[in-house]
Chains A and B, each alone.
Chain A
Amino acid sequence: METLAIISGGIIGAAILMYVVLDGFDLGVGILFPFAPDEKARDTMINSVAPVWDGNETWLVLGGGGLLVFFPTAYSIALPAFYLPIMAMLFALIFRGVTFEFRHQAHTSAHLWNRSFFWGSLVAAFAQGVLLGALVQGVHVEGLRYAGGMFDWLSPFSILTGIGVVAGYGLLGATWVIYKTEGEIQDWARRAAIVLGGGTMIAMAAVSVMTPLMRPMIAERWFGGINLVYFAPVPLLTGALAVWLFYSILSKRELAPFLSAVGLFVLGFLGLAISLYPNIIPPSVPVWDVVAPRSSVIFALIGVAVVLPMVLIYTVYAYSVFHGKASAKGGYAHHEHE
């Protein structure tokens, strides 16, 4: 059962990482929305994510659904614990999600939906960052049930991680825009990526320092004896990628900045996994205490093994259909102004 629990935890982790990277860049596009040079740039930006945002957000449903599948008890602890930030995230995602269609139908009220897109993306990103911080700082659990209050999640640390995720998603969004556009918008996105890249690095550094200080167990995990050697590549690679990020932006590469931003997220995620393992609800609930019964885990794993590869294949296909530069015409800008 321990192996099954670890595999299940790995699947949840992978789904969340997929979500963070994929929805991260389209939420980032929303965060950058009001700062874009003009309305035509905004049309281009929204068209660059319109065909794929829905698929990206499905990974969030897989993350939540997957938690209910593999760790129903963890789900029943985490959701009441994070009640308010989760609700804030859901409301934000609603406002943002409806923008795609509504903005495209709107004439006079388009600016209203621009705002809804921005605030929805910003609040969703911030709430997700707060959730991350609240998880890392630990949840009060007694008898495998949540035993804390409605505001336990709120702390300077969770505010910091909230801001960090906003900067990080903004960076993913800016580098995506660099990749999908050209000319004036691209130049603007490069400038935005530099600023947000700086912000992301500062936030990552601050979280990396605070986490081991906050929890001695996490310090022990990273700095205890031989572990230091094993895990040293994570921060070293992060540093190297950060250099590559800024270098590739400044040398006007198009895809490399996005890939290095994704790489930073993968490494950050790996770092968190190292800090938290084997707990799914830190600091006291390891994966094997809350894994679903064997019959449920096996059934779900068969489904994952058969279906997920197909999902990945046609997701890649769907992205490839819309490869190349996005434009202000076509997509959502198209029907209204023909």
Chain B
Amino acid sequence: MPPIDAEILARLQFAFTVAFHILFPTLTIGLAGFLVFFEAKHLRTGQEIWLRLYKFWVKIFALTFGMGVVSGIVLSYQFGTNWAEWSRITGPVLGPLIGFEVLTAFFLEAGFLGVMLFGWDKVGPRLHFLATTLVAIGTAISAFWILSANSWMQTPQGATFVDGHYVVDDWLAVIFNPSFPWRFLHMTTASYLTTTVVIAGVSAYHLLADNNREIAKRSFSVAMWALMVLAPLQIFLGDQHGLNTLEHQPMKIAAMEGNWETQSHAPFHIFAIPDQKAQTNHLELSIPWGSSLILKHSPSGVVPGLNEVPVEDQPPVGIVFWSFRVMVGIGFLFLTLGAWGVWARWRGQLTESKWLSRFAVLMSPAGFVATLAGWFVTEVGRQPWTVYGALRTADSISPTVTGASVATTLVLFLIVYGGLFGAYLYYLMKLVRRGPEALSVRETEEKPEAIRGARPGLVVPAE
């Protein structure tokens, strides 16, 4: 048994590297979809404005995708360096899922990303559009497999424990384990929502700066339409995902609710300071019956409490409780932004309202915060298990790895990732500030066909 410090350090290291990594796919999954939309619109209408939007956002996509690739490679090796026992025990289940992700998604993305970024004057417009579409499909397939793998650790089924490791009996049961469909929908929607708010925020910034107004108006409008649909959809999906968690991982729900005693008429705590030692909350500010109403849709519904299990089987309550509130709070701010957008559009003020634009700029990074908070809820809420109810985190780590090695590499990760993130933000802001290239003088978006002629192909480099 390794000393405790190696375990805590390995957990911190994994939490840090995986949290850092997920920021980038969150943006690229959603952005890939928007790029498909922009390029499709350009192909169909021939309007230059869609090409300008594509060429602007594809630069941000490329920058972000590169960060995702390099931080992702680390993870595929970190499973083994720090979590050798986990690898040995769950490898027969999770290995093939990750293998399928590499085969069906990573190669597809990598193969066609080159064409997408550098193939403008090498392939025709339709092939280029196909490349963009395949990259977008690749990002979605990637999310499919990795979320299936993660969900299996939350709600394992389809495998039995034999001779010290898992053996799969039923692959369909493994892949489509109970929490997977909701987690997949909730996370892909989170990606699209995060991206939508980023596009809205960047467009609003250019509206406020009065920079290439025609283009900014168009992308702001597209993003606000998307937000109108995605913000309420995500709240619905989150609710359904929560009900699924209640069924399969009741202690995670108990921690999210900060509910210590199993009870009916359970209140929803808007504010509380959970105290795991005393097994109670301090300074509660609550809505009576709220928790029972949300989870059971009835005031007399019984909500599970943390005291159903021994303290050593409880997740760290404070982190789960507060991360959940951050995520939900941001979700409702997005709903507010979306509703404001609808109202402003109805009044014909969508791109004129300065306060709406300011709010959008302010919200632009919030999707990342919400996504991270959501992952904190689900991952910390799974503790003290790596495979829920079956394999303890303490029994998952590499037996021979010393605290000193993990500490050294953790510090290196902090420094290196910190520096890289700084560079990424610097170059990102540089791209954002410059914005899309201006439309050609003679070409206005209203009557492109009259001026440009039949089909201005993508092959012609617009520079």
B423 in the interface, Cβ–Cβ < 8 Å? yes
A86 in the interface, Cβ–Cβ < 8 Å? yes
Chain B's closest residue to A79 (CB) is: B80
Q: A73-B88, A318-B114, A321-B119 are in contact. Are A94 and B74 (CB under 8 A)?
A: yes
A75 in the interface, Cβ–Cβ < 8 Å? yes
CB–CB B420/A64 < 8 A: no
Q: A54-B110, A98-B420, A318-B111 are in contact. Are A72 and B91 (CB under 8 A)?
A: yes
Q: A58-B102, A315-B111, A335-B59 are in contact. Are A300 and B96 (CB under 8 A)?
A: yes
B71 to chain A, nearest CB (A): 7
Chain B's closest residue to A147 (CB) is: B400
Chain A's closest residue to B55 (CB) is: A335
Partner among B67, B96, B402 whose Cβ is within 8 Å of the Cβ of A69:
B96
B237 in the interface, Cβ–Cβ < 8 Å? no
Q: Which of B161-169, B242-250, B291-299, B353-361 contacts A (4 or more CB under 8 A)?
A: B161-169
CB–CB B87/A98 < 8 A: no
CB–CB B73/A91 < 8 A: no
B401 in the interface, Cβ–Cβ < 8 Å? yes
CB–CB A50/B114 < 8 A: yes
What 0/1 pattern do residues 93 to 122 of B give for CB contact below 8 A with A?
A: 111101111111011111111110111011
CA distance A75 to B78 in the complex (A): 11
Q: A72-B92, A321-B119 are in contact. Are A58 and B87 (CB under 8 A)?
A: no
CB–CB A69/B98 < 8 A: yes
Question: Which residues in chain A, 265-299, are within 8 Å of chain B measured between CB atoms?
Answer: 292-293, 295-296, 299
- Count, A-B residue pairs, CB within 8 A: 230
Q: A64-B76, A102-B423, A293-B92 are in contact. Are A51 and B115 (CB under 8 A)?
A: yes
CB–CB B427/A106 < 8 A: yes
Chain A's closest residue to B79 (CB) is: A68
Question: Which residues in chain B, 165-193, are within 8 Å of chain A measured between CB atoms?
Answer: 165, 167-169, 171
Q: A80-B401, A97-B69 are in contact. Are A58 and B107 (CB under 8 A)?
A: yes
B168 to chain A, nearest CB (A): 5
B132 to chain A, nearest CB (A): 14
CB–CB A80/B84 < 8 A: yes
* Contact partners of B264 in chain A: CB under 8 A: none
CB–CB A295/B66 < 8 A: no
A188 to chain B, nearest CB (A): 24
CB–CB B73/A61 < 8 A: yes
CB–CB A65/B98 < 8 A: yes
* Contact partners of A300 in chain B: CB under 8 A: 95-96, 99-100
CB–CB B412/A105 < 8 A: no
CA distance A167 to B171 in the complex (A): 45
A88 to chain B, nearest CB (A): 10
A55 to chain B, nearest CB (A): 4
A71 to chain B, nearest CB (A): 8
B85 in the interface, Cβ–Cβ < 8 Å? yes
Size of interface on B: residues with Cβ below 8 Å to A:
72
* Contact partners of A84 in chain B: CB under 8 A: 405
A222 in the interface, Cβ–Cβ < 8 Å? no
CB–CB A105/B104 < 8 A: no
* Contact partners of B81 in chain A: CB under 8 A: 79-80, 83, 86-87
Chain A's closest residue to B64 (CB) is: A101
CB–CB A79/B84 < 8 A: yes
CB–CB B80/A76 < 8 A: yes
Chain B's closest residue to A334 (CB) is: B463
A66 in the interface, Cβ–Cβ < 8 Å? yes
CB–CB B99/A66 < 8 A: yes
A123 to chain B, nearest CB (A): 13
B346 in the interface, Cβ–Cβ < 8 Å? no
CA distance A147 to B398 in the complex (A): 11
Chain A's closest residue to B62 (CB) is: A101
* Contact partners of B69 in chain A: CB under 8 A: 54, 57, 97
Partner among A70, A73, A299 whose Cβ is within 8 Å of the Cβ of B171:
A299
CB–CB A93/B88 < 8 A: no
B88 to chain A, nearest CB (A): 4
Partner among B87, B111, B420 whose Cβ is within 8 Å of the Cβ of A72:
B87
CB–CB B107/A105 < 8 A: no
CA distance A77 to B90 in the complex (A): 14
A308 in the interface, Cβ–Cβ < 8 Å? yes
Q: A65-B102, A295-B169, A311-B103 are in contact. Are A58 and B110 (CB under 8 A)?
A: yes
Q: A79-B81, A79-B87, A97-B70 are in contact. Are A105 and B430 (CB under 8 A)?
A: yes
B409 in the interface, Cβ–Cβ < 8 Å? yes
B431 in the interface, Cβ–Cβ < 8 Å? yes
Q: List 30 A-B contacts (CB under 8 A).
A: A51-B119, A52-B114, A54-B113, A55-B110, A64-B76, A68-B94, A68-B99, A72-B91, A76-B91, A79-B80, A79-B84, A80-B84, A80-B398, A86-B77, A86-B81, A90-B74, A94-B70, A98-B67, A145-B400, A146-B398, A150-B405, A292-B92, A296-B167, A299-B168, A300-B99, A303-B96, A315-B107, A318-B111, A330-B118, A331-B118
Sorted nearest first, the 6 A-B pairs with minimum C-beta distance are A72-B91, A79-B80, A51-B114, A76-B88, A97-B70, A69-B95
B-to-A contact residues, CB < 8 Å: 59, 62-63, 66-67, 69-74, 76-77, 79-81, 84-85, 87-88, 90-96, 98-104, 106-115, 117-119, 121-123, 162, 165, 167-169, 171, 398-402, 405, 409, 412, 416, 420, 423-424, 427, 430-431, 463
A-to-B contact residues, CB < 8 Å: 50-52, 54-55, 57-58, 60-62, 64-70, 72-73, 75-80, 83-84, 86-87, 90-91, 93-95, 97-98, 100-102, 105-106, 145-150, 292-293, 295-296, 299-300, 303-304, 307-308, 311, 314-315, 317-318, 321-322, 330-331, 334-335, 338
Q: A54-B113, A65-B98, A145-B84 are in contact. List 12 more A-B contacts (CB 8 A).
A: A50-B118, A51-B118, A52-B114, A54-B66, A61-B102, A73-B165, A75-B91, A87-B412, A105-B63, A105-B430, A146-B400, A149-B400
